[in-house]
Chain A
Amino acid sequence: MKWDEFFVTGDPMIYGADVSIVLTMVGILFYLTKYKKWKWLWDEWLTTVDHKKLGIMYIVSAVLMLFRGGVDALLMRTQLAVPEAKFLDSQHYNEIFTTHGTIMIIFMAMPFLIGLINVVVPLQIGARDVAYPYLNAVSFWTFFIGAMLFNISFVIGGSPSAGWTSYMPLASNELSPGPGQNYYLLGLQIAGIGTLLTGINFLVTILKMRAPGMTLFRMPMFTWSSLVTMVIIIFAFPILTVALALMTFDRLFGSHFFTLQGAGMDMLWANLFWLWGHPEVYIVILPAFGMFSEIISTFSRKTLFGYKAMIWSMLLIAGYSFLVWVHHFFTMGSGALVNSVFSITTMAIGIPTGVKIFNWLFTMYRGKIQFTTPMLWSLGFIVNFVIGGVTGVMLAMAAADYQYHNTYFLVSHFHYVLIAGTVFACFAGLIYWYPKMFGYKLNERIGKWVFWVFTIGFNVCFFPQYFLGLDGMPRRVYTYSEESGWGPLNMVSTIGGFMMGIAFLILVYNMYYSFRYAKRETTGDAWDGRTLEWSTPTAMPPFYNFAKIPEVTGLDHFWRQKQAGKVEKLKAEDIKPIHMPSNSGVPFIMASFFFVAGFGMVFEWMWMAIFGIIGVFGTLFYRSFEYDDGYYVSVEEVIETEKISK
C-alpha cells in the first residue's frame, strides 16, 4: 500500500482536519502532563466502573459525535444551498452523507441515550450500580473504540461512501474497493458488541436490582422505556452482528453472500439490514418517550396520565418494530400481498404512538405547567414530532410510497422523528438530569435561546424538504440543475441548518457559562422531582448512590413522601458497610486491542488483526482468573460522606 492510498490527500479541507487533529492531540497531552493529570485520568475515568461516570463519558462522546455529524450536515447543506455548486465533489459528498448518517445514529443518538440511561436508571430503581459494572465498562470502551475507528477513516484510508445503509452490491469490493467500507463494517461491529452487552446488562439490572417494594408497575416510565429498549436491543443487534460479519467475509475473504458473483443475493443484505434497522429506530425513540414522560409529569406537577396504557403501548410498539422492516423497500417488487401486509402493520404502529401523544397532553391537563427548558423541549417534541408521525403514516401507504421513496420527502420525515424525537429528548434529558451529573443546572435563560433558535432552525431546515421531495428531488444527489427549480427551497433549508449549528454553539457556551457561574445545588432535588434519583441528599449522588436503599411503596414514591411530609432522614444506625465493585483497567486495554484488530482488518493486514484478536482473548483470559470480589465501604466513610451528625 502506497502513502497516497494510506493518507487521504489532495483536499485542503482534509489537510485542515489533519492539522487540527494533531494540534488537539498535542494540546491534550500537554495539558495532562503539565498539570499532572495522567493519574487522575486513569484512576477516575479510564478504569472506572461507576455507572454515573460511564454515563457521563457516553454523553461527552455523543456530544463530540454530534459536533462531527453536525459539521458533516453543514458541509452538505452548503453544497446544496445553490444549484450546481462546486464546494464538494461527488465522491466527497458521498463520503460525508455516509458518515453523517452512520455517526448520528450509531455514535450519537444511541450513546447519548445509553449515557442518560446509565446515569439515571440505577438511581431511579434505587440501586447502587448496574448488575455487571465491569461489563458496563467493556460496553463503553468498545463503543468508544468503534466510534474512533470509524472516525479516523476520513484522514486515513478514506471514508466509506456507500451510504449508511451500505446496500450491496454497491458496497462490495468490486464497486467500492479499499478500506472505506471496511471501516464501516469493523467500526459498527466493535461498537455493536458494546451495545449488545448494554442490552443484557440493563435488562438484568432493571429486572433484578430494583429497590424493595418497586414492583414492575411501580417503575418510573423512563426505566420502563429503558427495559423495553433493552429487549429490542437483545433481539435486534445479533442480526446486525451477523449481517456485518457476512459482508466482512464477502469483502475480506472472498465469500459470496451478497455479491454480484457466485449467486450472491443483494436483496438479502437489504432485508437483514432493515430487520435490525427498523427496531434500531425504536431503540433510539423509546427512551426518548420515557424521558418526555418523566419531564412532562414533573413540570405539570401531576401524575402521568394513563400509566398502564403508556406501558402497553410501548410493548406494542416494540413488538411491531420487528414486523415492519419491508416498508424500507416497498419498491423492491415483493408483490401486492407483501406490500399490503407491511403497509398495514406500519400504519398500525401509529396507533399506540398516537395514544402516547394524547396521554402526554392529558398529563398536562389539570396540571400546573412550568415552562422550564426541559419542558419547552418536551412541548417542542409534541408539536414537531406529530408532523414526523403523520408523514410517516403517509409513507406507510405503499402505493403512495412509490413516489416518496428515495426523495427528500423521506429525508424530511425521518429527520422530523429523529430530531424532534430523539435529539429533543437528548437535550431535554441532558438539561433535566444535568444537576444530577454535575451539581448545578444549566442556565435557563441561555437554554431558552438554544431551544428557540434550534427549533425554528429545525423547521426552516426540514419543512421545505417535504416540498422538495414532492417536486421530485431525490436524496443523496450532490448537486442539481438550475432548471429543476429546487434552488430557493434548498437555500431556505441551508439557512435553517446553520441556525441549528448556531444553537449547538450556544448550548456549548451554556455549558461553559454554567460551569463558571451557575449556583451550585444544595439538595439532591433540583426540580422538585418525583422519582428516586432526586431523593439523594447531595446534588450529585456519592459513588455508592444510596447510603440506605429506599423502600418503595408506590408509583412516584419520592413525590408522595414529600407531599405527606414524610421524607425519611438518614440515621447513623441505619448504615451498614456497602459492597462496591473495584475499578479495572482491563476493559480499556481490551478495547485498545479491539482497535488494533479492527484497524488491521480494515487495511487487511492480517498479522496486525491476529495480534489484536490474541490481545482481546488475552484480556478475557486474564479476567477469568482475576479473583476480585470488590470491596466494602466502611460505615465511618459513609457517615462522613453523608455528613450525618451523630
Chain B
Amino acid sequence: MRRLKPFFTFGLLMAVFMLSGCSDMIVLDPKGPVGAEQRDLIMYSIWFMLFILLVVYALTAFIVYKYRDRKNHKGYDPDNEGSHLLETIWWIIPIIIVIALSIPTVKSIYSLEGPPEESKDQKPLVIHATSVNWKWVFSYPEQDIETVNYLHIPEDRPVLFKLTSADSMASFWVPQLGGQKYAMAGMETELYLQADEQGTYEGRNSNFTGEGFTNHTFDVMAMSDAEFEKWASETKADAPELSKGQYDKLMLPGHVKQMTFSSTHLDWVDHAKNPEYALDARERLGYEEKLPHSKAGKEEKKKREEEMKKLEESESHGDSHAH
C-alpha cells in the first residue's frame, strides 16, 4: 500500500491540475444554448463519476492496506464466498445511478432535435452545409448566396443546418456552439445551433475523410442581425455567380481558401438526392484517384493542387467581400 500511495497522489495532483484548466477547454466554454445544454449535462455526469471513483478508490485502498499479507494478519476468512446483502446493494446502487443519468440524457436528446427553447418563436435561418473532400460548401437558399469554408450567422437566432456530403462521410462540428452530426452523401441530416455571442468560432469535419482530413475546417462568424443582413445583401450584389464549371472543380479532392458566390449550387444539384454527382464531375474533368505512393499518384496530386489554384483565381473578384 505504501508503494501505491505515490501513484494515487500523482493521479490526484494531475486531476486537480487539469480540472483547474476546465474553463479554458472549448467544449466546456460554449457560446450558445446548444453547447451550454451539453456542457451542463457533461458537468452533471462528471460529479457522479468523481463520486464513483472516490468510492472505488477508497474501498480499494482500505481493503488492500488492511488485508495485505503480513505478520499478525487478522480476519483471514478463506471460504467467505459472498453476501446476499452486499451484492444486492451493489446491484441497486448502479441501477439508481443509471436512472439518474438517463433522465436528463433522454430529455436533452429530445430537446436537441429542435431549436433551442429560448428562441422557439424565431424563424430559424436555414443553411445547407455540404462536405466535399476536403472543403465545406455553405448555401443560403433564402439569401441565394453561397460560401466556401466560412459562414456568417446572426447571433441570438437559431440556425438550422441541413447537412449532406458529396463524397466521404463527414461530421459537421463547431465545438463552441454545440455537438456534431454526420453529413452523408444521399442523406440529409439536420442540426440546430445558435450563437449567443459575437465572434469567430472554429468549425471542422471531425470524421476521418482521408488525406486532407486534418485541414477540413471552416470559420463561423457570428454577428448582429443588421450586420448579417448587410453582409448577405452586399454579397448578393457584388460576388460572382457560381458556374457549373467552377462547381465541378470544387468536387475535386483538395483544399481551397474561403470563397464567396452570389448563387447556389442547389439550383442544379442536391447531394442529398444525388450521391453520384461528385464522382461524375471528377470523371468529366478526367480525374482518377491513383495509388498515393506511386509516381502516378504523386503526379495526380500535383495536378489537383494546380486545379485548385486556378479555381481560387477564377473567384478572386468576390474575395474582397469575404471578411
| Proximity bits, B25-51, A CB within 8 Å = 1, else 0 | 111100000010110011001101100
Complex CA–CA separation, A270 to B182 (angstroms) = 12
Interface size on A (CB < 8 Å)? Answer: 106
In the complex, are the beta carbons of A366 and B289 less than 8 A apart? Answer: no
Q: Residue on A with the closest CB to B253? A: A175
* B213: interface (CB < 8 Å): yes
In the complex, are the beta carbons of A260 and B276 less than 8 A apart? Answer: yes
Interface size on B (CB < 8 Å)? Answer: 103
* A167: interface (CB < 8 Å): yes
Distance of B240 from chain A, by nearest CB (Å): 29
- Determine, out of A135-143, A209-217, A275-283, A347-355, the stretch whose residues face the partner at the interface: A347-355
Distance of A262 from chain B, by nearest CB (Å): 8
A266 with B184, Cβ < 8 A, contacts A371-B68, A406-B171, A406-B206 known: yes
Distance of B103 from chain A, by nearest CB (Å): 10
Contacting residues, chain B, for A355 (C-beta < 8 A) = 87, 90-91, 94
Contacting residues, chain A, for B102 (C-beta < 8 A) = 343-344, 347
Distance of A12 from chain B, by nearest CB (Å): 14
- Determine, out of A20-28, A107-115, A331-339, the stretch whose residues face the partner at the interface: A331-339
Contacting residues, chain A, for B155 (C-beta < 8 A) = none
In the complex, are the beta carbons of A357 and B169 less than 8 A apart? Answer: no
In the complex, are the beta carbons of B184 and A161 less than 8 A apart? Answer: no
Which chain A residues numbered 367 to 397 have a C-beta less than 8 Å away from chain B?
367-371, 379, 382-383, 386-387, 390-391, 393-394, 397
In the complex, are the beta carbons of A370 and B69 less than 8 A apart? Answer: yes
A350 with B182, Cβ < 8 A, contacts A472-B26, A472-B175, A477-B213 known: no
A301 with B26, Cβ < 8 A, contacts A91-B292, A343-B109, A406-B207 known: no
A393 with B101, Cβ < 8 A, contacts A158-B292, A261-B279, A399-B37 known: yes
| Proximity bits, A153-191, B CB within 8 Å = 1, else 0 | 000001001110001111000111110000000000000
Complex CA–CA separation, A331 to B57 (angstroms) = 34
Complex CA–CA separation, A190 to B94 (angstroms) = 41
Most chain A CB inside 10 Å of its own CB: which residue of B22, B52, B212, B278: B52
Complex CA–CA separation, A463 to B10 (angstroms) = 12
Q: How many A-B residue pairs have CB under 8 A?
A: 313
Distance of A341 from chain B, by nearest CB (Å): 9
Distance of A99 from chain B, by nearest CB (Å): 14
Distance of B268 from chain A, by nearest CB (Å): 18
Q: Residue on B with the closest CB to A353? A: B94
Q: Residue on A with the closest CB to B28? A: A470
In the complex, are the beta carbons of B105 and A170 less than 8 A apart? Answer: no
- Determine, out of B74-82, B118-126, B230-238, the stretch whose residues face the partner at the interface: B74-82
A302 with B77, Cβ < 8 A, contacts A175-B289, A401-B179, A476-B208 known: yes
Complex CA–CA separation, A176 to B293 (angstroms) = 12
Q: Closest 5 CB pairs between A and B?
A: A402-B179, A399-B108, A333-B189, A406-B206, A390-B49
Query: Chain B interface (Cβ within 8 Å of chain A)?
Result: 3-4, 7, 10-11, 14, 18, 21-22, 24-28, 35, 37-38, 41-42, 45-46, 48-49, 52-53, 56-57, 59-60, 63-64, 67-69, 73, 75-83, 86-87, 90-91, 93-95, 98, 101-102, 105-106, 108-110, 112-113, 133, 167-169, 171, 173, 175, 178-182, 184-187, 189-190, 202, 204, 206-214, 253, 275-276, 278-279, 289-296
